[in-house]
Amino acid sequence: MINGAEFPTMAPAAPHAVRGFGISDAPEQKEVKVGFMPLTDCASVVIASVMGFDEKYGIKIVLSKEASWAAVRDKLVNGELDAAHVLYGLIYGVQLGIGGLKHEMSVLMTLNNNGQGITLSNHLKDKGVISGETLKKLIDAENRSYTFAQTFPTGTHAMWLYYWLASHGVNPLSDAKTITVPPPQMVANMRVGNMDGFCVGEPWNNRAIYDKIGFTAATSQDIWKDHPEKVLGSTSEFVQKNPNTARALIMALLDASKFIDASSNRHRVAEIIAGKSYVDAPIEVIENRFMGDYEDGLGRRWHESNHMKFYNDGMVNFPYLSDGMWFLTQHKRWGLLKDDPDYLEVAKKINQTELYKQAAGQVGVPVPASAMRSSRLMDGMVWDGSDPKKYAASFKVRATAG
Amino acid sequence: MKQISKTSELPLRVLLVDETFERAALLKHALQEAGYQLAAHVTSSADLPGLVSELMPDVIIIASDSPDRDTLEHLCVISRDQPRPIVMFTHDDDSEKIRTAIQAGVSAYVVDGLKSERLRPIMDVAMARFQEFQSMRRELEKAEDLLAGRKDLDRAKGILMKQRGWTEEEAYQALRKIAMDKGLKLAEVARQVIAVADLLG
């Protein structure tokens, strides 16, 4: 497989003998507060609630739309939220105390693969930039300060942006200025000339094209096909106190994920999440890429088979340890972590693979044979979780000093 | 309070980030009443980092529901050497919530519609807490250095004990004498002994 992930063989989990719940399976807490950010990939938490998959498993999801990732983090830590649709890397950053706040966190499952993107401003297009290679040429030729935005310093978009720039020989820390901007403000900020490019989740890349502000230079699946993106995050305290609730939540979200990935349901899902209480964007901005119909703002149109996936026969949702460890290797690469952590131990602590397997078993979702998966990223580097320290140190473009 | 005397001599310069004008107006009024200087009020800013480095505010006050919190978060991560107290305000006065937020690194919470006479003590506490936190961090770094020094000392003593057949006490006294004679720190002498031993194999 070229430039893609190789999935271990998926074995169907043994169907649970009894579908109903015994006394010991009863959720400890019936009402579950779940936070989300207005992005296309919040679909599974929204659908689990709107379509009533939560009630099927004896819980009631109470959705809470959040304004910032910092608020999601704080509310998870102080218990205002029980779980949230959250950036993979953010959970790992909090576990290790990057940026101050340190807390024991949990990842219950992966919510989606793919569906993010890198947008460059139309001003760059006027200067002949249409790709990473041409961007590098411009940066070398025209000496000025270049600014790129992402959504959270330890999050997924920062890591996709850095990886993509670095793969083209641009050091995101020394050759450019990076800033953090909330997703719904990206396009407006690019319009007033505050940045040359950004990395964000959909629908905001498509919105930049729709508003004729920018174009898509790369999709996140170009960087890493079937990459992990948002997770269902919680604290380890919540999971330890409420294992049955946590399991019920995973089951409800697996049902929702299946529902969304059935192509006949996607239009309806797009309609629901476009609403004011959720993503709050025109459906035509959300729907195209959600269905896999891409255009890049440079005149190319294509059907993307690696578009945003929520289920993909269960391959999306298993919380692979290697996925979590990858974010740590990048945190180390970019100097967010001073020293190598115990990669595997941290991932084992955070990713609730056992709980996930129990939940998947109950709803007949296949689980992989191994907690590691092997992927080849855009620069040809293979990541399989086997030697994280060596992998983290192997990148030529990285944070200098310290 | 003596330890924060600086704050009572010079008015603290405050950067206020809030998108709601009425709410910000109330807070601005309360800040001025309490004797603070408003460095700027922005409703939302893409260039918050630029603004912070340009204005150098002593305190940043931001609404807890502001999307710009992620931008400030970036500052916390990248400017570890230039930290600033961040005060959040909220319409919610749940004391438990405020307590956890403060533990999480927010210097203080200001509750909406707060009277100016109550603002002053809250800001003082925020500054004191922030300074305390900073000095704790410096102490921790010092302690870590000290620990590293002690490890070096143990290694150097081990080298001398092995090569000279000295007791631990004799090795320690020898290192201490060199340190005193040369006016060096003990840890420094230890590192030199280790370096020489490494060189000679």
State ipTM: 0.78
Q: Per the CB < 8 Å rule, is B74 touching A151?
A: no
Per-residue pLDDT at B21: 80
Q: Is the predicted pLDDT of residue A16 greater than 50, yes or no?
A: no
Q: Which residues on neighbouring strands pair with residue B178, listed in sequence order?
A: none
Of B65, B67, B77, the CB nearest to A153: B77
Cβ neighbors of B198 (< 8 A, separation 6 or more) are: none
DSSP letter, residue A113: B
Contacts with A77 from chain B: Cβ below 8 Å: 100, 104
The nearest CA of chain A is from the CA of B71 a distance in Å of 5
User: Around Cβ A253, how many Cβ atoms within 10 Å?
Assistant: 29
User: Can you tell me the mean pLDDT for B89-104?
Assistant: 58
Provide the pLDDT for residue A343. Answer: 98
Chain position carrying tokens 């790709």:
A131
Structural domain boundaries in chain A: 5-112+228-295+306-319+334-383
Instruction: Residue A74: list chain B partners with CB under 8 A.
Output: 101, 104, 106
- A153 close contact with B: CB closer than 8 A: yes
State yes or no: pLDDT of A271 exceeds 80: yes
Say yes or no to pLDDT of A3 above 50. no
Question: Which residues of B have a CB under 8 Å from any CB of A?
Answer: 44, 46-47, 49, 64-74, 76-78, 97, 100-101, 104-106
Q: What is the pLDDT of residue A6?
A: 42
**Residues of chain A neighbouring B104 (CB-CB closer than 8 A):** 74, 77-78, 100-101
For A365-400, the DSSP string reads --EES-S--EEE-TTS-EE-SS-HHHHHHT-SS---
d(CA A358, CA A364): 10
Please name every residue paired with A198 in a beta bridge, in sequence order, or none if there are none: A119, A149
CA distance A187 to chain B (A): 11
Contact call for A68 and B49, based on CB within 8 A: no
Weakest-pLDDT range from A143-157, A275-289, A302-316, B62-76:
B62-76
Contacts of B73 in chain A (CB under 8 A): 68-70, 99, 152-153, 180
Distance from CA of B50 to the nearest CA of A (A): 10
pLDDT attached to residue B97: 59
With CB atoms and an 8 Å threshold, state whether A182 touches B71: yes
Out of B65, B68, B105, name the one closest to residue A101 (CB).
B105
Q: What angle do CA A36, A41, A44 make, to 5 degrees?
A: 75
A151: closest CA of chain B, how far (Å): 7
Give kind and range of the element (H or E) at residue A108.
strand A105-110
Q: Is the peptide bond before A203 cis (omega within 30 degrees of 0)?
A: yes
Average pLDDT over residues A69-80: 90
The sign one gets for the Cα dihedral B71, B77, B82, B84 is positive
The more confident residue out of B86 and A150 is A150
- List the single best residue of A159, A181, A199 to mutate versus B (max B Cβ within 10 A): A181
Does the pLDDT at position A64 exceed 70? yes
Q: What pLDDT, on a 0 to 100 scale, did the predictor assign at position B45?
A: 64
Closest by Cα among B42, B92, B108 to A185: B42
Range in A122-126, A329-333, B169-173, B195-199 the model is least confident about: B195-199
Residue to mutate among B76, B77, B137, with most A CBs inside 10 A, is B77
**The predicted structure's pLDDT at residue A197:** 98
| Mean pLDDT over each residue of chain B, to the nearest integer | 75
What pLDDT was estimated at residue B118?
Answer: 67
Q: Which of A72-76, A111-115, A183-187 has the highest mean pLDDT?
A: A111-115
Burial class (CB in 10 A: 0-12, 13-18, 19+), A249: buried
User: Which chain A residues are Cβ-neighbours of B49 within 8 angstroms?
Assistant: 179
| Residue A70, min C-alpha distance to chain B (Å) | 6
Cα separations in angstroms, A211 against A125, A203, A204: 15, 12, 10
More confident residue, B10 or A233: A233
Tens digit of each residue's pLDDT (9 = 90 or more) over A184-213: 889 998 998 889 999 999 999 999 999 999
Q: What is the pLDDT of residue B8?
A: 45
Confidence at B17, pLDDT banded by 50, 70, 90: confident
pLDDT > 90: percent of chain A: 86
- Would you tell me which residues 276-315 of chain A have a C-beta closer than 8 angstroms to some C-beta of chain B? none
Which chain B residue lies closest to A182 (C-alpha atoms)? B67
Cβ neighbours of B105 in A, within 8 Å? 100-101
- Asked if the Cβ–Cβ distance from B73 to A180 is below 8 Å, we say yes
- Per-residue confidence (pLDDT) for residue A25, from 0 to 100: 85
Of A152, A130, A115, A286, nearest to A197 (Cα)? A130
Q: How far is A4 from chain B (nearest CA, A)?
A: 31
Question: Which of A80, A101, A151 is facing B70, going by the closest CB pair?
Answer: A151
Quick one: pLDDT at residue A5? 42
Instruction: Give the model confidence (pLDDT) of A314-336 as tens digits.
Output: 999 999 999 999 999 999 999 99
CA distance A264 to chain B (A): 35
What percentage of residues in chain B have a pLDDT greater than 90?
12
A74–chain B Cβ distance below 8 A for any pair: yes
Report the residue count for chain A.
402
Model pLDDT for residues B127-186, shown as the tens digit of each residue: 776 777 677 777 877 887 788 888 899 999 999 999 899 999 999 999 999 988 888 888
Q: Given this model, what pLDDT does residue B31 score? A: 80
CA distance readout (Å), A213 to A101, A147, A176, A340: 36, 16, 21, 40
Least trusted range by pLDDT, from A30-39, A347-356, B76-85: B76-85
* DSSP codes, chain B: -GGGHHHHHSPPEEEEE-S-HHHHHHHHHHHHHTT-EEEEEES--TTHHHHHHHH--SEEEEETT-TTHHHHHHHHHH-TTS---EEEEES---HHHHHHHHHTT--EEEETT--HHHHHHHHHHHHHHHHHHHHHHHHHHHHHHHHHHHHHHHHHHHHHHHHH---HHHHHHHHHHHHHHHT--HHHHHHHHHHHHHHH-
> pLDDT tens across B21-32, in order?
877 887 788 788
Assign domain A5-112+228-295+306-319+334-383 one CATH number from 3.30.565.10, 3.30.1340.10, 3.40.50.2300, 3.40.190.10: 3.40.190.10
Interface membership of A194 toward B (CB under 8 Å):
yes
Res. A303: pLDDT tops 60: yes
Which of A16-25, A106-115, A211-220, B36-45 has the weakest average pLDDT?
A16-25
Q: Grade residue A93 by pLDDT with cuts at 50, 70 and 90.
A: very high
d(CA A175, CA A253): 41
Give A228's DSSP letter.
B
Q: Kindly report, residue by residue over A38-61, the tens digit of the pLDDT.
A: 999 999 999 999 999 999 999 999
DSSP state of A144: S
Domains detected in chain B: 2-139 (3.40.50.2300), 141-200 (1.10.10.10)
pLDDT at position A15 is: 42
pLDDT number for residue A237: 97
What are phi and psi for residue B107, nearest 5 degrees? -70, -35
Q: What is the CA radius of gyration of chain B?
A: 25
Q: What is the tens place of the pLDDT at every residue in A217-252?
A: 999 999 999 999 999 999 999 999 999 999 999 999
Least CB–CB distance from B70: residue in A79, A100, A152: A152
C-alpha–C-alpha distance, residues A303 and A146, integer Å = 32
Give residue B46's pLDDT: 64
User: In this structure, what token pair is assigned to residue B1?
Assistant: 């309070």
Q: Considering only CB atoms, which chain A residues are within 8 Å of B78?
A: 153
pLDDT at A170 over 60: yes
Which pLDDT value is given to residue A84?
A: 98
Average pLDDT, integer, range A66-84 = 92
Q: Which residues of B touch A68 (CB under 8 A)?
A: 66-70, 73
Structure-model confidence comparison of residues B56 and A402, the more confident one: B56
